Every structure is written in C-alpha cells, then in structure tokens.
A and B are shown apart, each in its own frame.
Chain A
Amino acid sequence: MPTDFLPIAVLIALATVLAFLVVLIGHLFGPRRPTATKLEPYESGMRPYGPGQRRMPVHFYLVAMLFILFDVEIVFLLPWAVVLRQLRLFALIEMVVFIAVLLVGFVYAWKKGALEWE
C-alpha cells in the first residue's frame, strides 16, 4: 500500500533535511580561508601524484558478483520463508535443491581461490 510508505518518506525526508541543516550551520559558522595547499587531496603530507581515481583490481568485481548472486537467492528465499509453515515437505525439498545448486557454484568459487584475499 503506498500509504504504508508515507511515514517512511516523512522520516527520511526529515532526516535528510536535518542533516542538510546541520551541514549548513557548519558551513555558516566555519571559517573559509581556502589556500591552494589546503585544497590539495590528502596524501600523508606529500604532494599528491597521479589522478585521484585509478583502476581497481578485479577482485572487487568478483566480490560484488558473488554478492548479487546471493542477494538474488535470498530474494527468492524470502517469500518461501514466509509461507514455509503452511507448506508441505515437498516445498522444503525444492528449497534444499535450490540452495544445493547454488552451493555448487559456491564450492567452485572456493576451490578456484576466488574467496581468497590477495
């Protein structure tokens, strides 16, 4: 029901507005004396070299990929979990099969060393 989300919308809007106001107050009361050195990105006291954004290792991509798969799995599992108590044994077996198939992929990732951090 869209009205169920009204309190959430109000709360979130309010939190954002409060955060904005607090930041604004900080903006008003804080000094503003920018210098070229001050505005440099922090690099442990050295002059920054190279761009601030750079290419990232592929490992992060793998973690995100695994996350998506489990996320989607959980989204499928949630409606099942809601009605589990009304379902018969057959539904339980189906779900075990569902998880088992995914575990095959998980074991593959494990064996391939995709879960190791380098």
Chain B
Amino acid sequence: MDFNFQDPFTSIGELLRGLLLGWGLAPGLVSLILMLLGALVLAGFAMTLAGVFLTWLDRKLAARIQDRLGPNRVGPFGIFQPIADAIKLITKEDIIPEGAERAIFKLAPMLAVMSAVGIWAVVPFAPRLIGTDLNVGVLYIVAVGAIGTLSIMMGGMASNNKYAMLGAFRTVAQMVAYEIPMVIALLVPTMLAGTMGVGGIVEAQRGGWFIVLAPVATLLFFVSAMAEAGRAPFDLLEAESEIVAGYNVEYSGMKFGMFYVAEFLHGVTIAALTATLFLGGWLGPGAQQFPLLGLVYFAIKTAFVYLVISLIRFSMPRIRIDHLLAFNWKLLTPLALAAVIVTAIADKLAPALGWNRAVVHLTANILLAWATFEALRAYARGIRQRVEVQPAAVETGGAD
C-alpha cells in the first residue's frame, strides 16, 4: 500500500488496519483497536494541549495584560510550569472531608473530565477526520454538556460543606439558565444547514460561513457558552479572589486537578464549537484535497476564538449576580428566540424574493440587532429618567 500524503489520516488508518488484519485478528476487533487508538490520541492530545500548553499561554497572556511577568522559571519562558504544577498536585494529600458521600465525591471529577472530552467525539478536525458524525450531533453536544452540569452538582452535594453545596447550586442554576439561549442559538445553524450532524453543518458552510449568515446567533452562542462554562466575566460563582471557591472547595490534589482540567477543556471546547459551527470548521482553500491543511485551518480558527475568550476574560470586570441572571432571561433568551424566528422567515423569504440567500440573512440579522439596540437604548433612557426624577431609586433600579 502506497502512502498517500494528501490524506495521511485515512492512509495511517488503512495501514494500521492492514497490519492488524495481517496478524490474523478479526475485522471487528481491528476496528475496535483502531478506535481505541484514535481515542487515545485524541484524549491524550486534548488533555496535554489543555493541561500543559494552553494553561501556560493563558497565564502568560494574563500576565502581559496585567503588567506582570507570569511563569518564567521552569524551562524556557516558564513553559514547563504546568508540568511542575501537575507534579505538585500529584504529591498533595488527597483529602476526603468527614461526612462526605465518598462514592459520589470520587465519581464527580471523573464525570467532569468525561463530559469535557466526550464532546470532541463529534467535532470534525479535518475532512473525514471525525470521531463519529452523529446525525443528532448538535443535541449530543448539549447532552454531554448536561453530564458536566451533573458532575458539578454531585461534587457540591457530596462534599458535606455548605459552601460547596451553595456554590454547586448557584453554578448549576447559572449553567442551566445560560444553556437555554445557547441551545436556541444552536437551532440556527441546524436550520441553515438542514441537518443536526456537525460534519454536515461544516459542509453546509461552503456557500458562506454562518457567522456571515447569522451573526446574531454566533454572538449569542459565543456569549452564552462562555457563561455556561463559567469563564470570566461570568465566573462570579467561584471567584477565587473574592469568595470561597464554590462547588470544588473540598477537593484537593489530583481530584481538584481533574475539575480544573475539565473546566479548562470546556473553554477550549467552546472555542472549537464556535469555530466549527459558525466559522466554517476545517473549511478553507485547499482543505478538501489536503486534509492536513483542514486540520491547520481548524486549529487556527479555534485558537483565534480561544484568544478572544481569553482577551475578554482578562479585560472585563466580573458582573453582578442579578445582572448576570437578568442579562440571560431578559436579553439573551428573548433575543435567541427572535433570532430563530427571523432566520426561519429569512430562509423562506430568500427564494420568494429571488435574492441572494446570504444578503437576505445578513439584512435580517442587522435589522434584528438594530431593533435590539434600540430597545436597550429606550430601556436605559427609562432608567436614567427614573434615577433623575427619584434619586432613591439608584440602589434598586440598576438592573440593566
């Protein structure tokens, strides 16, 4: 078998399959072994990437923005700092507090990692390089995210600590609240692509990335996914510089490390999902012929979105809890529903008018954004007037 440099992944797969079949193994078993190998590479890749390289990059970036040096002792530019941190976590005592539900307490961090890694099974890295192109891919992403919510709940409830419990409840309440606009925003790419499969959604963006066709939904998904993952500025429930850490306060050693990795991976996952669903995934010039190029495009797009997340994270102040909830219920959720209806109407309108599909969608989105801004402006004007008329309302009327 000659090695095809244009499509190395398929070739490697075929090569290995041929080799294993040559050893006299059953075809089913060979498939399973290949899958295991792929999963191993993927999980190892994800964990190393998130745990080592990205934490370092994140901290360096944070340091730059906050006028500090950041890690700079271990290895060149401190790049091995995360490894030193991992060793530190390994050698820490693994404490299970008295009165904890031991089984649930131990299970929670593993479920967290499982849910963070599980999403990657349906993310297409390059053409034909996808774990499984599930036809309910979008919903699968939501389902796996739900398991992450559950792990936080379990961790908080099993700790026998009222702060952990309260932290878990608040975190879960925030997560489920922000999951609503996130999932509604996911309806838009589903509608535009006519499929729930993630691979199909990427393919459907050949005519134009969905960020052009649906900028409002893109922004909605991005913001609510960030809040759902509890990234700053939405991290007020575990603001470690201000309050007791939240649901994971009783976790120590590598169990805490697992929660940390899961949370970090969640951030990367959001970037990857935004890149896949709205920025065209692996699409780009020449990606069809050279899947390796597709992988590069995908990585660049994901890194870009991740960078934006980090920039937002380090430049925005935390928002207040009542603002957080009001922002979700009173702005994001109605806007997401409106975006779905507007997209549906625009999709029906485009063929009827005989115009270019992208133009119609973009116009509809701009109109929607404009209407939203006008409504917000009117609302802010109302508050300002009330504040001017009645100075006492300053304390209570601030939910904007």
For B44, the closest partner residue in chain A by CB is: A18
Q: Closest approach, in angstroms, between the C-beta of B133 and any C-beta of chain A?
A: 8
A84 adjacent to B162 (CB under 8 Å): no
B250 adjacent to A42 (CB under 8 Å): yes
B94 contacts A by Cβ under 8 Å = yes
Q: Closest approach, in angstroms, between the C-beta of A1 and any C-beta of chain B?
A: 9
Contact with A along B33-53 (1 / 0, CB 8 A): 001101110111001000000
Q: Closest approach, in angstroms, between the C-beta of B311 and any C-beta of chain A?
A: 28
Most B Cβ at <10 Å: residue of A7, A27, A29: A7
Select which of B38, B95, B114 is within 8 A of A39 by beta carbon: B95
Chain A neighbourhood of B348, CB < 8 A: 89, 92
Most A Cβ at <10 Å: residue of B40, B96, B254, B326: B254
A30 adjacent to B253 (CB under 8 Å): yes
Q: Closest approach, in angstroms, between the C-beta of B68 and any C-beta of chain A?
A: 28
Expressed in whole angstroms, the Cα–Cα distance for A67 and B90 within the complex equals 38
B255 adjacent to A26 (CB under 8 Å): yes
Most B Cβ at <10 Å: residue of A10, A38, A103, A106: A10
Most B Cβ at <10 Å: residue of A33, A43, A64, A117: A117
Q: Closest approach, in angstroms, between the C-beta of A72 and any C-beta of chain B?
A: 11
A85 adjacent to B160 (CB under 8 Å): no
Q: Closest approach, in angstroms, between the C-beta of B243 and any C-beta of chain A?
A: 10
A25 contacts B by Cβ under 8 Å = yes
Q: How large is the interface on B (under 10, 10 to 19, 20 to 34, 35 or more residues)?
A: 35 or more
Expressed in whole angstroms, the Cα–Cα distance for A81 and B42 within the complex equals 31
A30 adjacent to B190 (CB under 8 Å): no
Chain B neighbourhood of A85, CB < 8 A: 191, 194, 347
For A31, the closest partner residue in chain B by CB is: B93
Chain B residues 3-47 with CB under 8 Å of chain A are: 32, 35-36, 38-40, 42-44, 47
A15 adjacent to B43 (CB under 8 Å): yes
Expressed in whole angstroms, the Cα–Cα distance for A59 and B166 within the complex equals 13
Chain A neighbourhood of B110, CB < 8 A: 16, 19-20, 23
B330 adjacent to A115 (CB under 8 Å): yes
A117 adjacent to B322 (CB under 8 Å): yes
Chain B neighbourhood of A23, CB < 8 A: 94, 106, 109-110, 253-255, 258
B92 contacts A by Cβ under 8 Å = yes
B219 contacts A by Cβ under 8 Å = no
A11 adjacent to B117 (CB under 8 Å): yes
B257 contacts A by Cβ under 8 Å = yes
B163 adjacent to A7 (CB under 8 Å): no
B118 adjacent to A12 (CB under 8 Å): yes
Residues A34 and B95 in contact in the complex (CB < 8 Å), given A18-B113, A115-B330: yes
For A64, the closest partner residue in chain B by CB is: B176
Contact with B along A41-77 (1 / 0, CB 8 A): 1111000101111101001100110110011001101
Which B residues have a C-beta under 8 Å from some C-beta of A? Answer: 32, 35-36, 38-40, 42-44, 47, 89-99, 106, 109-111, 113-114, 116-118, 120-122, 131-132, 134-135, 138-140, 157, 159-166, 169, 172-173, 176-177, 179-180, 183-184, 187, 190-191, 194-196, 244, 249-250, 253-255, 257-258, 321-322, 324-326, 329-330, 333-334, 337, 340-341, 344-345, 347-348, 399
- Write 5 A-B pairs (CB below 8 A) sorted by A numbering: A10-B35, A15-B113, A23-B255, A31-B91, A60-B173
Apart from the given pairs A75-B139, A116-B399, 10 other A-B contacts in the complex at a CB distance below 8 Å: A10-B36, A12-B117, A19-B110, A22-B257, A23-B110, A29-B90, A43-B161, A54-B165, A82-B194, A115-B326
